[in-house]
Structure 1
């Protein structure tokens, strides 16, 4: 008897992950990460730059799918739809033959200060916030403006601009599409006019022909071509029925769709993502608002996103700096041997591009209060994980200033939340209860594809069988201890920001 299987692809910064999910049981059959023994580099040719090769993404996607097929745990012929999740805010540019014209400028790139200031001055702060819900910042529109200003020969060859997930979908289907959610994350969408932003087009001098055709998130974005099918050993014609940025997709994978529901993740970057139904914005654009996967012009569903650039990347940096051969599990065990506060050692987890929650300041990563007679490797590990948790607390307080009220946040049991030290620090520093679920971005993308194919009547139905693994509640005594350390951490941050 044939099954109905769904393929989810998650285009991350450090790797690609694919999952095959059974549509009926909503259970994951197999997941493959590629590469699984290293992490893809972020190219930094100049200060504040951050680039990756789209061709490498595609090569890794192919390798991951082929490896999944080789497990023989399912029949590729049973795959009925494909969903794609991807790192947000990147810029991929292609010519009229769909050839990539340069490496992608990715989410943590901060070269666009001049372009962002120009766009904001032309549009005006109040109009930018009330229509775009954000400043241009270092989002996709500003990155495209940088190419226009600095690489005119390349810019003049552009046929279409794409986000990373659009590029993977194009390689699968030979079609280029976009969504309201995608346009909003690039700061191309006017929420008041409910259309492509004329303000952005005019301020930066863009031709609207550069923008792909607009489709719903949950709809057909093309069908897999004969060429791609042969390369991947998949049936020709499988539709791509879902595309979304990694943070809206993470919220989807946690069944977070309605106002008041909140998701978090701590991968390369750290994010808190809260859904609301009003065109709200932070007056300093320290947190950013985008269209959620279930947003429509008739029914506002907006994701308010707090982003911390230096989350998992800080954890990876300190591990590799101390001992590249150390596993994350060993690192976490060492961190747990040190008491709360890491004996006064503090870490500021920045140094990975402009931090939006700090008004786009370019801060460095920094240890404070190092004691050569006291602090060990374990102290370094604990201080880094606590520092990341305190950065979440700092950003959460900004969201609370903007009216966010919640006591519970959902996350997948993955990445930094596999560390008991980090999970405990997050819960007690923020005062939020944390629900940990058995899911991830690639599984969410697969189930999103099921929604787009019409297997599920609603997005909520696709996640009806979501498995809650654990709930961690704040501990009164630990909350007090973490709050005391947080105040010292905050003072160190404010000192660095002067």
Structure 2
């Protein structure tokens, strides 16, 4: 048996698979996000530990024999979060999360230093870890002075599980401190933030052993003591391992809280100006390119909270057949935007509302706006040298055929839907746990799932959506000045 643990923003998922990679059981525990000020997003790392404990105890109680047979654990987690510890390993403040935009000025200052793009291959986005530390240095100097270790969220769980300070390449690439080509911390980039290697965890590949389970926790959780904990991966790279998106040319579209267009590459091909992320993959000697939008299903969740109707009811009410876009435009910039705008200050908007703009029109506009944001990502990937022929859809939003048909039509590529199964980040983490424990060949483990069906673009509506996208592209510069 092998165990995958995925630390998300809204919850923790623990997944058991057997040696044939069949899902045996899973358990979840929820998390809340604190937003004490506009643009802030924080969580208490103690809540991560408690949610993980709840999920694992649930598996222990429901599947004791299987938990007792686990041979390896893999970790996945939300990226970029700044978890600050003192010399005793005590958490100094709530973790600043990936979607926190308070450090946009610090990000701009670091990005103006040419060595950051040169060594990381990426723009320094406000969500990355490095600018968060500059914000702490300027606004909470006593916390900065006491900081002895900086961990990413999943690596704080590793510290709890193993007592070790270890991270891996895919997650570390999102800090803005990693020399992404060399797959190592950059002393120069750390020094630019007043830090050095002593503040950072040791780095391993995602497929490598990275600590062993503590005996006291093993006894509590019903797991064998001393089992291997793999390096693991950031959530998107872990999802790619779960989807088998590891060979150059393969790609997936994640329609989750945020939106990701992810393409695996067999070489390091940065193009920071496109605002595409170029990160290390979880497998050795592989990289990936990724466009990111900050609000995907989160935009539908927001509309749901406003109108008091569940998201599934909203998307279900639009019907089955794709309709031509209306004149209403929705910009899904509820938390700012990454690819391709790199704009932390911009906010979302409905444009073109009229008396006839009912709930259904607004629901469709949200789905269309998210689809247009993905097309922005597709164009950015092409500018970075990666052309997509098709994508595989994952994430909660992929349960809506209407939304997937809109995406296929807007992107102009077929969208594949996997056969029933769990192929997300927790599954990818479990695969990494298997590889680390067994010394297995990653390529033989990280295989793509069977495709149940494919949604093709609606050819007769492509020109209408091309026109809708053109209107969408005009809207951002028209409102940008309002939020500066």
Q: TM-score, normalised by structure 1?
A: 0.90
- Is it true that 1:382 corresponds to 2:389 in the alignment? no
Q: Deviations over 1:262-299 (max 9, x none)?
A: 12212110001112234332342511111111243xxx
Q: Identify the residue that residue 93 of structure 1 maps to in structure 2.
A: 84
> CA shift at 1:428, angstroms?
0.7
Matches within 5 A, 1:122-271: 123-124=113-114, 127-138=115-126, 139-191=128-180, 195-271=184-260
Q: Identify the residue that residue 416 of structure 1 maps to in structure 2.
A: 397
Q: TM-score, normalised by structure 2?
A: 0.93
> CA shift at 1:21, angstroms?
0.7
Aligned-residue Cα RMSD (Å) equals 2.1
Separation of aligned partners in 1, 2:297 and 2:428: 21
**Comparing 279-288 and 261-270, the one that deviates more:** 279-288
Q: Identify the residue that residue 393 of structure 1 maps to in structure 2.
A: 375
Q: Identify the residue that residue 433 of structure 1 maps to in structure 2.
A: 414
- Residue aligned with 1:355, SS: coil
Q: 1:192 to 1:355 in 2, by over 3 A?
A: closer
> CA shift at 1:203, angstroms?
1.5
> CA shift at 1:247, angstroms?
0.8
**Equivalenced residues, count:** 477
Q: Is the 8 A contact 1:173 1:225 kept in 2?
A: yes
Q: Is the 8 A contact 1:96 1:158 kept in 2?
A: yes
Query: Unaligned stretches of 5+ in structure 2?
Result: none
Q: Is the 8 A contact 1:254 1:411 kept in 2?
A: no
> CA shift at 1:136, angstroms?
2.6
> CA shift at 1:463, angstroms?
3.4
> CA shift at 1:339, angstroms?
5.8
**Comparing 189-198 and 167-176, the one that deviates more:** 189-198
- Is it true that 1:333 corresponds to 2:316 in the alignment? yes
Question: Which of 11, 18, 23 is matched with 1:15 structurally?
Answer: 11
**Comparing 458-467 and 305-314, the one that deviates more:** 458-467
Question: Which of 283, 302, 325 is matched with 2:287 structurally?
Answer: 302
Separation of aligned partners in 2, 1:434 and 1:135: 29
Q: Identify the residue that residue 296 of structure 2 maps to in structure 1.
A: 311
Query: Unaligned stretches of 5+ in structure 1?
Result: none
**Comparing 26-35 and 464-473, the one that deviates more:** 464-473
> CA shift at 1:442, angstroms?
0.9
Q: Identify the residue that residue 288 of structure 1 maps to in structure 2.
A: 277
> CA shift at 1:433, angstroms?
1.3
Separation of aligned partners in 1, 2:287 and 2:204: 18
Q: Deviations over 1:4-58 (max 9, x none)?
A: x11111111111111111122x1111222223xxxx3322222222111111111
Q: 1:58 to 1:335 in 2, by over 3 A?
A: farther
> CA shift at 1:194, angstroms?
5.1
Separation of aligned partners in 2, 1:389 and 1:192: 32
> CA shift at 1:96, angstroms?
2.2
- Residue aligned with 1:343, SS: coil
Q: 1:215 to 1:194 in 2, by over 3 A?
A: closer
Q: Is the 8 A contact 1:427 1:474 kept in 2?
A: yes
- Is it true that 1:352 corresponds to 2:335 in the alignment? yes
Separation of aligned partners in 1, 2:305 and 2:111: 39
Q: Is the 8 A contact 1:91 1:164 kept in 2?
A: yes
**Comparing 5-14 and 197-206, the one that deviates more:** 197-206
Separation of aligned partners in 2, 1:213 and 1:368: 49
**Comparing 170-179 and 486-495, the one that deviates more:** 486-495
- Is it true that 1:451 corresponds to 2:440 in the alignment? no
Separation of aligned partners in 2, 1:331 and 1:66: 35
> CA shift at 1:308, angstroms?
0.1
Separation of aligned partners in 1, 2:202 and 2:117: 25
Q: Identify the residue that residue 94 of structure 2 maps to in structure 1.
A: 103
Q: 1:392 to 1:192 in 2, by over 3 A?
A: closer
